[in-house]
Amino acid sequence: MSFFTGEFGCKMDAKGRLTLPAKVKSKLPEVSGNQLVLSQGLEPCLVLYPLVEYRKIYSRLASMNEFNEEFRRLQRNFFRRISEVELDGAGRFLIPKHMIKYAKLEKEIILVGLGNRLELWDSTVYEEYIINDNAEFSKLAQKHLTE
C-alpha cells in the first residue's frame, strides 16, 4: 500500500508535464510500474492514484448494478473524468489539457499526499481550500477523529 503525506512544490512545464519529487516517486508501489491514474477531483484539483490503488476504486464502481440508473450515472461521470498517465524516464507525466483547464493549473503546482493518493493543486487555488485557523482545524479533527 502506498502512503503519501506532506506538501510538495512542483513546476509544470510549458508542455503540461509534471515531474514527481523523488520522495513521492520512491513511495510508488513497484507493481504499478510507471502507470498512474489521474482523475478530476471533486474540488478544482486533480487526483493522482498509483494503479494498484485505483484498481480498488475501479472494482467497487465496476461491480455496481448496470441496470440501476443512479449507478450508471455515477459510473459514467466517474470514468469520464479519468486518464491513465505514464511516467517517462525522467519521472515526468503529461497532464491532459482538459484536466489542466479543469483544475486551473498554472506553472506553480502543489502536490498534497493524502495517504493512498495525491492531489495536484494550482498554488493559488489551493490556498482557498486549506484551513489556516488552528481552532477551526481542531474542531474539525475533534468532530471526525474522536467518534
User: What CATH superfamily is the domain 7-145?
Assistant: Transcriptional regulator MraZ domain (3.40.1550.20)
On the 0-12 / 13-18 / 19+ scale of CB atoms within 10 A, 2 is middle
The residue written with cell numbers 475533534 in the block is: 142
**Which pLDDT belongs to residue 31?**
72
Q: pLDDT tens, position by position, for the chain (147 residues)?
A: 678 999 999 999 999 999 999 999 999 888 767 899 999 999 999 999 999 999 999 999 999 999 999 999 999 999 999 999 999 989 999 999 999 999 999 999 999 999 999 999 999 999 999 998 999 999 999 999 986
Domain residue limits, the chain: 7-145
